[in-house]
């Protein structure tokens, strides 16, 4: 006798994994003017004045501050671009990136 297959047919639909995020980190130094850091944060990271000031002050007092998170390529491109703009003005300002835990 032919058996009827009564097993329910299931399909596993996998959602694409979200790409891991990377932090852009502002590093303090003793030379870059505070106003320049704030202007750069506003122009390159589109943060409002009050937030730019808070980020700059946190980096100034604690040594570093997270600016924003992006996918790795965007984070690296933005960190490099902001660092290069500062260097082109003769400042040693540094933005780094690191993966978010
Ligand atoms: N420490 C600098 C000063 O006193 C200002 C500054 C703040 C520089 C944050 C870099 O990431 C920085 N002029």
> Is residue 19 domain-resident?
no
For the CA of 65, the nearest atom of ligand 1: 11
Average pLDDT estimate for 74-94 = 98
pLDDT category, 6, cuts 50, 70, 90? confident
Angle of CA points 86, 90, 94, to nearest 5°: 40
For the CA of 94, the nearest atom of ligand 1: 11
Whether ipTM tops 0.90, in short, is: yes
> Is residue 72 domain-resident?
yes
> Is residue 43 domain-resident?
yes
Q: Which domain holds residue 57?
A: 30-99
The CATH number of whichever domain residue 37 belongs to comes to 3.30.1390.10
Complete edge-to-edge strand list for the sheet that includes strand 21-27 = 64-71, 21-27, 94-99
The answer to pTM > 0.80 is: yes
State if residue 64 touches ligand 1 by the CB under 6 angstroms criterion: no
Helix axes of 34-45 and 49-62: crossing angle, nearest 10 degrees: 130
Report the pLDDT value the prediction gives residue 72, as an integer from 0 to 100.
Answer: 97
- The count of structural domains within the chain is 1
Widest Cα–Cα separation across the chain: 88
**54 pLDDT more than 80:** yes
Probe ligand 1: pick from 24, 26, 28, max atoms within 8 Å of CB?
A: 28
């Amino acid at each position: 006798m032919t058996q009827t297959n009564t097993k329910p047919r299931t399909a596993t639909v996998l959602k694409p994994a979200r790409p891991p995020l990377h932090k852009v980190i502002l590093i303090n130094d003793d030379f870059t003017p505070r106003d320049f850091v704030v202007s750069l944060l506003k122009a390159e990271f589109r943060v409002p004045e009050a937030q730019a000031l808070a980020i700059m002050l946190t980096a100034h007092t604690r040594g570093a501050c997270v600016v924003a998170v992006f996918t790795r390529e965007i984070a690296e491109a933005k960190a490099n671009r902001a660092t290069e703009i500062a260097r082109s003005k003769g400042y040693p300002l540094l933005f780094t990136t690191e993966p978010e835990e």
